Every structure is written in structure tokens, then in C-alpha cells.
Amino acid sequence: MLIYRATFNRRQQRSLMATPRKAILALLSFILPLLTSLINLKFQNQSNSVFQTHPMTTLVAISGLLVFALSFGIESTFHSFHLSPTCAAVLRTTMVFSGFLSLASFASLLFPAAWRPGIYVIYLPLSLGNCLYGLVRKWGEWVQQGMMDKLKTLFTRMQQWPVSRSPPILPLTNMDTS
């Protein structure tokens, strides 16, 4: 029973760790073809292609997609070698950020030029939300640990303080009434 539980917990942890990766891949595999089809519809009657009209935006979109694919490939290939937590976190953050940057760039091609900065502003917290949450959580744990250490030190010192007793209110001496 105990061996089964340990095996189940490891499998459950692996599936939970893979969930964000699968979700990002599913999101990109659904949205990217949709966005490219909409971009093709928008630019089909124009003499210039989208690459000629918006070269920087398409360069950022394609670069983000390539960085996403590279980081996804590295994470998938070396995941079985048990990457260090820091390396795995950097790869996941790179994957999420580059995927969302690519989505933001492709989506910005569908909107007027005045709206493009707003699209990037919306996608930035979405892509960095997981990373920022992890940093805030670690910072909170660090602050909590520091406070607990200081309280422990304070209570230890308080226990070591000499206890001074106040004199009794009534004298406790034997009074002879003879």
C-alpha cells in the first residue's frame, strides 16, 4: 500500500508539473492557426504582404514562436534528466513569455496601430504571472522565516532573563508577642 501511494504521488506530481506545459501548447495550437487565418483575411486584398507592412511585428512574432519551440524542445528533451528547479523554472518562464509574446504580436496585427501597445500591456502580466507569483511566494516565505527566527531568538532570550521577584507585601517574619 505504501509503495503504491509513493508511486501514485510521483505520477500525480509529474502530471501536475506537465499541466502548464500542455495547457500552453494547447492554447498556442488553437490560437495561432486562428490568428494566422484572420491575418490572411485582413491582408488578402492589400498589395503589400503583412511582412512588408509590419516587418518588426512579424519578426517579433516569429522570433517568439521560435524561442518558444526551442525552449519547449529543451524542456521536453531534458525533463527526464531531472533538470534543476532553477533551470526548469527558467525554461518554463521563457516558454510562457515567448509564447505569449508571439500571440500578442500576431494579435496586434489585427488591430489598429493605436491599440498595439495596449495588447502588449495585457499580455505581459499574463505571461509573467506565474513567474511573479513564484517570486512573491518565495519572498513571503523568506519574510515569514526571518520573522519566525527573530521571534524564536526573542523568546529564547526572554527565557534566559533572570527573574527578579518583588518583595512580599506582608512581612513573613515571626513576631514574638511576649
Domain assignments of the chain as residue spans, ordered by start: 2-129
The candidate with the shortest Cα–Cα distance to 66, out of 88, 95, 91, 105, is 95
Alpha-carbon separation of residue 133 from 104, 122, 141 (angstroms): 21, 17, 12
Per-residue cell: 66? 521560435
Neighbours of 106 (CB within 10 A): 25
pTM of the model: 0.60
Residues 6+ apart with CB under 8 A from 20: 92, 96, 130
pLDDT digits (tens, 9 = 90+) for 34-72: 988 888 888 888 888 888 888 898 999 999 999 998 988
C-beta separation of 118 from 47 below 8 A: no
C-beta separation of 74 from 91 below 8 A: yes
Please, how many CA atoms are within 13 Å of residue 42, restricted to the half-sphere of its CB?
17
Mean pLDDT of the chain: 77
pLDDT digits (tens, 9 = 90+) for 3-26: 444 444 445 444 444 556 677 778
Residues 6+ apart with CB under 8 A from 61: 101, 102, 105, 106, 109
| Per-residue pLDDT, 70 | 92
Q: What is the arithmetic mean of pLDDT over 119-132? A: 77
82 phi-psi bin (left φ>0, alpha ψ -120 to 50, beta other): left
